[in-house]
Structure 1
Amino acid sequence: MIVQLKGNVQFPITLDPTVWIFDDRKIKLEEAFLPDKEENHPEKDVEPQQRIRPPVKRSVSRFEGKKVLENSYVMPIKPFLETSNPKEDATSAILHTDQGEIEISLDELKESLLIFAIDGKPPKEDGPVHLLFGDGTNQQNPFKGIDVITIN
């Protein structure tokens, strides 16, 4: 249930979407494409040096914990992409899925969201993540079964 981000990057990284449920950067799927989406991104007010460690709530009440396990969530890929530091000549990305390879532009990838929880559970059969474009154009048909993203 991991996703590799590799290729034409300074720092290849391995992502573990199973821990994102505790990350404050997650967004409820039903709120991801609302007009005020920017207000839902806690990292917009965070200084760059504070983004090194993922923002995680220190304590979650029992009620909040139960609520978290009932919703569907997405995670913006942009902070992870920035951490991997794509090289200057990088222009595209290959999504390696269980159905084959899909090429998208690096700009499309930067604005994309990864579905990592559906009704509070990881998408196991067609996971570990699904990809939605940031504008929601493929919301009804996300790219599924992504386990490697190769930057070209």
Structure 2
Amino acid sequence: MIVPIIGNVRYQITMDPTVWIFDDRKIILEEAFSVQEKNEKDLLEEAAKKWERAIEKPPVNKTLTRHEREDILQYSYVMPIHDFLNHAEINDDAKDATLITSEGEVSISIDQLYNSYLLFALNGKPLKEDGPVHLLYKDGTNKDNPIKGIKKIQFN
């Protein structure tokens, strides 16, 4: 259930989607695509507020109340992938990314990958059959047909 980021990166890292359910960066699937409808000013204001909160009190995964734990099990969630890509530090000479899936390989541009979400939970449960993650473009163009069964992300 892990997804390594390998290849033409400075740091090869391993993502563990099974713990993202407790991560504050997760987004409810239905809300992820409504973000696109917000105007740029709203997004900038939201980012500024997050930055201020992070400076005042660094983000930590807080202990959840019973009600919050029950709510988690009702929703489907995505995780923006850009933080993980930034931590891996993609080399400047990298040309594209290959998603190694259970069905084969899919090549996409680095920009497409940066502008994507990883679906990791449906109805609060990990994606066991065709997971561990699915890739959804932030613009929603493949919302009904995500790239499924991603096992590794390799930069070329």
Instruction: Decide whether the 8 Å contact of 1:24 with 1:42 is kept in 2.
Output: no
How far off its partner does 1:43 sit?
8.9
Instruction: Give the structure with higher Rg (CA).
Output: 2
**How far apart, in 1, do the equivalents of 2:107 and 2:69 lie?**
37
Give TM-score scaled by structure 2 length.
0.87
Correspondence for 1:23 = 23
* More divergent stretch after superposition (19-28 vs 57-66): 57-66
Correspondence for 1:82 = 86
Correspondence for 1:46 = 51
Instruction: Decide whether the 8 Å contact of 1:17 with 1:116 is kept in 2.
Output: yes
Structure 1 runs (4+) deviating above 4 angstroms are 41-44
Structure 1 residue ranges without an equivalent (≥5): none
The alignment yields a C-alpha RMSD, in angstroms, of 2.2
Q: How many residues align?
A: 147
Instruction: Decide whether the 8 Å contact of 1:22 with 1:56 is kept in 2.
Output: no
Matches within 5 A, 1:6-21: 6-21=6-21
Give TM-score scaled by structure 1 length.
0.89
- Tell me: CA distance 1:128–1:42, structure 2 relative to 1, closer, same or farther (3 Å): farther
**How far apart, in 2, do the equivalents of 1:44 and 1:10 lie?**
31
Q: Higher helix proportion, which one?
A: 2
| Equivalent residue letter for 1:116 | F
How far off its partner does 1:91 sit?
2.4
Superposed CA deviations along residues 92-116 of structure 1, whole A, max 9, x for unmatched, are 1000011100000000001110000
* More divergent stretch after superposition (72-81 vs 87-96): 87-96
**How far apart, in 2, do the equivalents of 1:9 and 1:70 lie?**
36
* More divergent stretch after superposition (22-31 vs 57-66): 57-66
